[in-house]
Amino acid sequence: MAAGFVDKARITVHAGKGGDGAVAFHREKYIAAGGPDGGDGGRGGDVVFVVDDNMSTLMDFRYKRKYVAGNGANGQGKRCYGKDGETLYIKVPRGTLIRDTETGALMHDMSTGENWVAAKGGRGGWGNLHFATPTRQVPRFAKPGLPGESHDITLELKLLADVGLVGFPNVGKSTLLSVVSKAHPKIANYHFTTLFPNLGVVYVDEGVSFVMADIPGIIEGASEGAGLGHDFLRHIDRCRLLIHLVDVSGSEGRDPVEDFEAIQAELREYSPELAERPQIVAANKCDLLGDRENIERLKKHVEEQGYSFFEMSAVTHEGTRQLVGECARRLAELPPILSFEADYVPPEPVVDTSEELSIQHFDDMWVVEGPWLQRLVATVNFSDYESRMFFDRVLREAGVFERMEAMGVKNGDTVSMYDLMFEYQD
């Protein structure tokens, strides 16, 4: 892969930890027993991905691999709540796919431009203000903040181009892109010139334009990983229209019909759906033709398969305007660019309940704490019925309720587990 273009990157994101709640009591001259006034800790900062249309590669992620949002501040006395942690915004190019590294499942497609929260900050701990009751007026405990979410993520860039140029290396794709757009791809007369995709905006008429991508050259076997393989082919996935450029000059002793079929076979092998994408066949280097045998054979071959056929020369600009006009006409009739549906399912947490829990009894309040319980509370979505049932099952299997019953818990007593409070019911 060329040093200037990175289309895959692996990073770790950590949301911020919630701030701890405060244990404090109201102290004011001439006011006796002012009561608890410890404030809550602030919420940890989220990690949020945003689209930056000025970015075209994942180069920024080559050297920085760990991204951490700000922690929430601790609560203080006088009912002062801790400040929320600073949200971390990570900019990525439009079209970036965000995958779970372990499973490869798609978490989100950054093609629509909407922000996406990849890791949620931990909830802030409650101050002792929350734990005051008529029978417990001096609560001397508060709750620590919960840890934020953490994910190992793989970023994968798929270009958002309307038209993709495909064909063997050195057939003139870079030259065509430079002629019809303001892009300035590197052009030279050797194979595998283009080691990363170039994009250019093609202006057809007032209010009519489209994005064209010069896809790196495909070789036979690319669908099986030969050469640069899938690194090349993945960039055609979103193109609505393909221009298949074929060298008909015979200058390298190649047969244009065989070249055409070789590329078609690679597309079918990589993705049958991609092979069915609308396609225009453009015979390039017509200015170098000695006789028309090659071009006539290719024209007959592709038109029999239902493809539009154009003769052109990228170097002399012959036929390029007609080709661009046909692209604009076809794009106006085609549906918008494909957006991929997320298929990531968060795994059910694996909870090691071997660590000892602390169970304390204050009047009608039961405070349950411990490292594994803290991790469990942080990961459970209590607005979801299945998640709540999972939480209850883990507590019962760990013998938490059995221990509390042995210690004398009664129906209606309040149970506090970090920022979770509920009435006990057997």
* CATH at residue 265: 3.40.50.300
- Residue 387: half-sphere exposure toward Cβ, Cα within 13 Å: 12
Residues 176, 310, single domain; the answer is yes
Please tell me whether residues 222 and 235 are part of one structural domain: yes
Q: Name which of 16, 14, 8, 160 is nearest 99 in CA terms.
A: 8
Q: Does 246 share its domain with 384? A: no
Are 214 and 143 part of one and the same domain? no
| CB neighbour burial string for 81-110, b if at least 16 within 10 angstroms, e if fewer | bbbbbebbebebbbbbbbbbeeeeebbbbb
Residues 142 and 129 placed together within one structural domain of the fold = yes
Over its length of 426 residues, how does the chain's per-residue pLDDT go in tens digits? 333 345 788 999 999 999 988 877 776 655 445 677 778 889 999 999 999 887 777 888 888 899 999 999 998 888 788 899 999 999 998 888 999 998 889 999 888 888 999 999 988 887 877 766 665 666 666 778 888 999 999 998 876 678 888 888 777 888 888 888 865 544 444 344 344 567 777 888 777 888 888 776 555 444 454 444 455 566 677 788 999 999 888 776 778 899 899 888 888 887 788 788 899 999 998 887 777 888 899 999 999 999 999 999 888 889 989 999 999 999 888 887 667 777 777 766 677 777 888 888 877 778 888 888 888 887 777 777 878 888 888 888 888 888 888 888 888 888 888 767 788 877
The answer on 239 and 117 residing in a single domain is no
Question: Do 233 and 129 sit in the same domain of this protein?
Answer: no
* Residue in 223, 224, 230 with CA at minimum distance from that of residue 264: 223
Instruction: Give the domain CATH number at 8.
Output: 2.70.210.12
Q: Looking at the structure, tell me whether residues 17 and 142 fall in a common domain.
A: yes
Whether residue 338 is contained in a domain is answered as no
Is 361 within the bounds of a domain?
yes
Q: Identify whether 418 is part of a domain.
A: yes
Pairing label, strands 88-92, 106-110: unpaired
Same-domain check for residues 27 and 83: yes
Name the domain boundary from 333, 367, 400.
333
Final residue of a domain: which of 158, 180, 207?
158
Q: Which domain holds residue 255?
A: 163-333
| Residue 341, in any domain of the structure | no
Residues 297, 302, 303, 309: what is their CA dihedral angle, to the nearest 10 degrees? -90
CATH number, domain with residue 402: 3.30.300.350
Is residue 251, in this structure, part of any structural domain at all?
yes
256 near 247, Cβ under 8 Å?
A: yes
Of 141, 158, 175, which closes a domain? 158
168 shares its domain with 306: yes
Instruction: Kindly state whether residue 367 falls inside one of the protein's structural domains.
Output: yes
- 344 within a domain of the structure (yes/no): no
User: Does 148 reside within a domain?
Assistant: yes
Residues 104 and 231 in one domain: no
Report how many domains make up the chain.
Answer: 3
User: Is there a single domain that holds both residue 223 and residue 323?
Assistant: yes
- Print the SS3 string covering the chain: CCCCCCCEEEEEEECCCCCCCCCCECCECCECCCCECCCCCCCCCCEEEEECCCCCCCHHHCCCCEEECCCCCCCECCCECCCCCCCEEEEECCCEEEEECCCCCEEEEECCCCCEEEECCCCCCCCHHHHCCCCCCCCCCCCCCCCCCEEEEEEEECCCCCEEEECCCCCCHHHHHHHHCCCCCCCCCCCCCCCCCEEEEEEEECCEEEEEEECCCCCCCHHHCCCCHHHHHHHHCCCCEEEEEEECCCCCCCCHHHHHHHHHHHHHHHCHHHHCCCEEEEEECHHHCCCCHHHHHHHHHHHHCCCEEEECECCCCECHHHHHHHHHHHHHHCCCCCCCCCCCCCCCCCCCCCCCCEEEEECCEEEEECHHHHHHHHHCCCCCHHHHHHHHHHHHHCCHHHHHHHCCCCCCCEEEECCEEEECCC
